[in-house]
Amino acid sequence: MAPINAVITGIGGYVPDEVLTNKDLERMVDTSDEWITTRVGVKERRILRGEGKGLSYMAIRAVRQLLEKTKTDPSEVEVLLCATTTPDYAFPTTASIIAYETGCIKAFTFDMQAACSGFLYGLEIAANFIRAGRYEKIVLVAGDKMTSMTDYTDRNTAPLFGDGCGAVLIEPTEENYGWVDSILRTEGIGREHLIMWGGGSVLPLTHEGIDKRLNYIYQDGKVVFKYAVAYMADVAAEIVERNHLSKEDIDWVVPHQANKRIIDAAGKRLGVPEEKIMVNIEKFGNTSAGSIPLCLWEWENRLHKGDNMILAAFGAGFVYGAAYLKWGYDGQRSDNGQS
Ligand code: UT7
């Protein structure tokens, strides 16, 4: 019997309709469209507004679209895994809420957190659940409502983030497609450079904590940038070398969308031309765990069975990594409902 591998067999996504442009931000903090465009590469981002709307609002929509596109009966989903840093609540899990609302009534569900590397880490878990032969239909939904922890009085972080979510179906295959290889790592020096100090078990939120704005993202951008540029490119290059891929063999690079300059550095390191690098940071900003699946979602109709893809991510922790996968099907399964 051929060994079982795990392959992505469909993708759904959701971004909120409301757009926050750089011009809007100019009215909120001391910044400019020119600075944000040249230093970060973002022109606009989507924001989820409205009382009672958390990550699950987007995730439910992404999963519903995925199930419709792949004609999957939700009761057949065995595992529903949600990768996020912005769950609806500390508990219960957001995965349990998504499963209930999408009819995945028989799924075993859990949340996981690996910050901006969440999708990559989630794929590693899902792929190995499949390879173990124990499960046959896994939904991985990854995304963040980053605006829920973005401080719109802090110009260092306000322009960077947006909200969005993607979802993939992962199934077994005996063909030579799917998850080929991965390198996932942690550089623990990152802790204090990208963190939300308040709201966890070290510093449960108090009035004082809120006055100190500890319920928002803190980032030392320069330090994070330095590590992100080096580590994301290094690990992407390492996986390419280890799998004996030439730059011509690479059909797509799918990088985490934190800063266009970090993406460019990774592309340059791999020697891959711009048209093979998925970039949508200008429209969506940094959606953390959502950024890689939202790229795949947008590019789906241009993908072909057998395309060689390098995925790479870097985020808080610092947890980072790269993966090599062979795409499993041709084109878009049906309308994404997005232009
Ligand atoms: O997704 C998780 C991982 N996160 C990342 O990978 C993010 C990594 N970091 C970055 O992408 C960049 O460091 C930032 C985009 C966050 C910042 O860009 P930078 O080029 O590193 O800027 P900087 O922090 O070094 O600041 C340069 C200057 C400073 O002014 P002075 O001190 O040179 O006078 C800042 O005060 O730009 C100023 N500045 C701004 N100016 C206008 C900082 N933020 C802004 C702003 N508008 N929004």
Going from N- to C-terminal start, the domains of the chain cover 5-176, 179-328
* 128 is known as an active-site residue: no
Does the beta carbon of 278 lie inside 6 Å of ligand 1? no
CB atoms < 10 A from the CB of 234, how many? 17
Mean pLDDT of the 269-294 span: 98
**Which ligand 1 atom minimizes the distance to the CA of 228?**
6
Q: Determine phi and psi for 245, rounding to 5 degrees.
A: -90, 135
Q: How many Å lie between the centroid of ligand 1 and the Cα of residue 299?
A: 29
Work out the pLDDT band at 199, boundaries 50, 70, 90: very high
For the domain covering 5-176, report its CATH number.
Answer: 3.40.47.10
pLDDT tens digits along 65-82: 999 999 999 999 999 999
Mean pLDDT of the 36-41 span: 98
Mean pLDDT of the 203-220 span: 97
pLDDT tens digits along 98-142: 999 999 999 999 999 999 999 999 999 999 999 999 999 999 999
Contacts of 202 (CB under 8 A, 6+ apart): none
User: Exactly one of 5, 22, 259, 286 is catalytic; which is it?
Assistant: 286
- Measured by CA distance, the residue closest to atom 16 of ligand 1 is 221
Residue 335 has pLDDT above 60, yes or no: no
Q: What is the mean pLDDT of the chain?
A: 96
Q: Determine phi and psi for 306, rounding to 5 degrees.
A: 95, -5
The reply to whether domains 5-176 and 179-328 share a CATH topology is yes
Q: Model-level pTM?
A: 0.96
Does the beta carbon of 258 lie inside 6 Å of ligand 1? yes
User: Exactly one of 256, 259, 295, 308 is catalytic; which is it?
Assistant: 256
Q: How many Å lie between the centroid of ligand 1 and the Cα of residue 53?
A: 30
* 256 is known as an active-site residue: yes
Work out the pLDDT band at 332, boundaries 50, 70, 90: confident
Mean pLDDT of the 230-255 span: 98
Q: How many Å lie between the centroid of ligand 1 and the Cα of residue 219?
A: 10
- How open is the CA angle 202-204-209, to the nearest 5 degrees? 105
Whether 141 contacts 166, CB under 8 Å:
yes
Does the beta carbon of 228 lie inside 6 Å of ligand 1? yes
For the domain covering 179-328, report its CATH number.
Answer: 3.40.47.10
Does the beta carbon of 39 lie inside 6 Å of ligand 1? yes
User: Exactly one of 82, 104, 116, 165 is catalytic; which is it?
Assistant: 116
Q: Residue type for 223, please?
A: V
Terminal CA-CA length for the chain: 43
Share of the chain above pLDDT 70, in %: 98
Does the beta carbon of 157 lie inside 6 Å of ligand 1? no
Rg (CA), the chain: 19
The one-character DSSP state at 133 is T
pLDDT tens digits along 95-109: 999 999 999 999 999
